[in-house]
Amino acid sequence: MNRRRFSVTLASAFGAATHGVGAQANAPYKIGATWPLTGPLATFTAEVLTGGQVAIDDVNRRGGVNGHQLQLVVEDSAGTPQGGITAMRKLAQVDGVQALISILTNVVTAQIPLADQFKVPTLSIIETPGLLDKSLYSFAHAPTWGIIVPLVAKDWKAKGIKKVYGLMLNNALGLLEGPACRAAAQSAGAEYGEALLDPDVTDFRGIVERVRDFGAQAVVVPGQGGTVEINATRQLLELGTKAQIYSLGQDFTMQAFRNGIGPYTEGMIFGGLYLDPNAARTFVTQYRAKMGYVPGTQTGELYDVARMIAFTIGKAGYNGPAIQHALATLTDFPSVFGGTVSMAPDHRTVIKAIGLFQVRAGKLVRLSTTT
């Protein structure tokens, strides 16, 4: 589906549905967002949320949805489960949002029961596999690390790496990714060691020594970003560690990550998506005009997410259960990552062309792909 056809499709959908729950004449349709505005996981917040705002601004310039402008209402989750619950309760019970955007495995896990209770669909950009398939109202648009880890293990095996060390975050994501990385290393014939990164720590020299003592040839980090992961990775490289660094996320595309790691990104290997230069052209132009730099992968995911929610509101009305049904049956939605995406039975979009990329001379070079 090309961009012109998509615009027509959006216009048709936005004019087709009734106003729905709580919609007063010309009142804005609010889309909620629970996001870490504070805390160590707030590193990418300004970059990523702006992607959603660019999408909403684009829809509003075209007349909004059924005569209503869209409004992004953000509450601070602080990157914690309790913070995510408090933020979601405020958005659903006070602001009356009928759809919500979220991020972070620990936050979304805590929000799943509330999404079902409030009948407010949540579309997140979390990467944990198997988390949403039993929830009626929770969805995700992002590649899972369950797809990326086997690609990394294949690279370990091809390079004859026998010693892998994991620097996992001491949170819900890290406690899931660690065992997966251990199993992947074993499948590649490698020994696996691990340390958990404490979010309250800034000096990781002790962990660097453990990596050296282990004799690691490869170090894998979660790819969630945040100051903890950035600081640990930078210190690892500043202190002369020669191990190949693998990230389970595409953080190199994020401005805050590149600024945090600096020149030490050279040679690092990242798993994930990359914006399609043709499909994302208009988005990149609009984003760069707003922020002064090119958007990254998570930013592109949120741009897609905001447009998906806008589309489903236009198709089904401003009503949580109706939006839920429209998301569950979403097909052939054009993505800034190229082609189209559809919602699978496990409540995740199916995204193709996930790969491994290495930084060479400051640019990402594709090493492998799933398609």
Q: What is the pLDDT of residue 4?
A: 34
Tell me, yes or no, whether 36 lies in a domain.
Answer: yes
Q: Which residues pair with 246 in a beta bridge?
A: 220, 269
One domain, residues 170 and 228 = yes
Mean pLDDT calculated for residue range 254-259: 90
Does residue 280 sit in the same domain as residue 138?
yes
pLDDT in tens, 273-301: 889 999 999 999 999 999 999 999 999 99
Per-residue pLDDT band for 16 (boundaries 50, 70, 90) equals very low
- The last residue of a domain, from among 272, 306, 331: 272
Give the full edge-to-edge strand order of the sheet including 163-169: 191-197, 163-169, 218-221, 244-247, 269-272, 355-360, 363-369
Coil, strand or helix: which one is 359?
Answer: strand
- 237's tokens: 């490289």
Answer whether residue 65 is part of any domain: yes
Contact 51, 284 (CB under 8 A): no
Q: Which of 19-28, 250-259, 265-274 has the lowest mean pLDDT?
A: 19-28
Report the domain count for the chain.
2
Question: What pLDDT digit, counting tens, does each position of 178-217 carry?
Answer: 999 999 999 999 999 999 998 888 899 999 999 999 999 9
Compute the C-alpha angle 228/231/236, nearest 5°. 125
Are 236 and 291 found together in one domain? no
Q: Are 159 and 114 in contact (CB under 8 A)?
A: no
The answer to whether residues 248 and 136 belong to one domain is: no
Among residues 272, 302, 323, the one where a domain terminates is 272
Of 75, 87, 223, which Cα lies nearest the Cα of 148? Answer: 223
Residue 220 sits in the same domain as residue 317: no
356's tokens: 């491994």
Position 133 pLDDT exceeds 90: no
Do residues 12 and 129 share a domain? Answer: yes
Q: pTM value?
A: 0.86
Parallel, antiparallel, or unpaired for β 363-369 and 355-360? antiparallel
pLDDT above 70 covers a percentage of the chain that reads 92
Q: How confident is the model at residue 37 (pLDDT cuts 50, 70, 90)?
A: very high
Q: Which of 238, 256, 272 represents a domain boundary (last residue)?
A: 272
Residue 365 lies in a domain: no
User: Which residue segment(s) compose the domain that 237 sits in?
Assistant: 145-272
What SS3 state is found at 316? helix
CB-based contacts of 241: which residues, under 8 Å, 6+ apart? 208, 211, 212, 216, 219
Asked if residue 94 has pLDDT above 60, the reply is yes
Do 237 and 292 belong together in one domain?
no
pLDDT value, residue 175 = 84
pLDDT of residue 370: 64
For residue 61, the tally of other CB atoms under 10 A from its CB is: 10
The helix or strand, by DSSP H or E, that contains position 54, with its residue range, turns out to be helix 45-61
Confidence band of 18 (pLDDT split at 50, 70, 90) = very low
Asked if the structure places residue 358 within a domain, the reply is: no
pLDDT at 2 over 80: no
CATH number at residue 246: 3.40.50.2300
Residue type, 221: V
Is the residue at 356 inside a domain?
A: no
22 shares a domain with 139: yes
118 with 161, same domain: the answer is: no
Is the residue at 370 inside a domain? no
Tell me what the mean pLDDT of segment 155-169 comes to: 95
348, part of any domain: no
Does 161 share its domain with 259? yes
Condensed to tens digits (0 to 9), the pLDDT of residues 298-357 reads 999 999 999 999 999 999 999 999 999 999 999 999 999 999 999 999 999 988 778 999
Cα 201 from chain centroid (whole Å): 24
Check: CB of residue 349 under 8 Å from CB of residue 343. yes
Please report the pLDDT score of residue 351 as a whole number. Answer: 82
Q: Are residues 164 and 260 in the same domain?
A: yes
Residues 183 and 265 in one domain: yes
